[in-house]
Amino acid sequence: MRNRRQIIKRIEDTEQKIKSLKQEITELERENLLLSDKSQWFIEKEEEFSISKRPKKTEMRLVGRVYWNEGFVDEDNGEVITIERNMIVRVNNNWV
């Protein structure tokens, strides 16, 4: 039979393993987003962002977007309509 200290130590060790696995999954998901192929592609370019309207101030930011094509079925005629989607994943090399 285990004592309380052993159980608490096992809980702490398991929580640390979970934290490590979550961090590994996050890194793998980020790596996956940066890959480009036929189904998904990553593009990074500078874009102008508005900071204030009056007086008008803008700044340039490096924006990384993931693009993919998504198909929808038109309910009227059954045709598949493809729409290009995108999502911002990085701004100035910081993950969003």
Do 33 and 66 touch, CB atoms closer than 8 A?
Answer: yes
Band of pLDDT at residue 68, cut at 50, 70 and 90: very high
User: What residue segments make up the domains of the chain, in order of their start?
Assistant: 1-34, 37-96
Nearest Cα neighbor of 46 from 57, 33, 59 is: 59
Q: Which two tokens stand for residue 13?
A: 């060790």
Give the integer Cα–Cα distance in Å for 67 and 55: 33
Q: Is 29 left (phi over 0), alpha (psi -120 to 50) or beta?
A: alpha
DSSP bridge pairs for 60: 48
**Using 50, 70 and 90 to split pLDDT, how confident is the model at 54?**
confident
Q: What is the pTM of this model?
A: 0.73
Q: What is the mean pLDDT of residues 60-77?
A: 93
- Residues 14 and 92: their CA atoms lie apart, in Å, by 35
Q: What pLDDT score was predicted for residue 7? A: 95
Question: What is the model's pLDDT at position 47?
Answer: 94
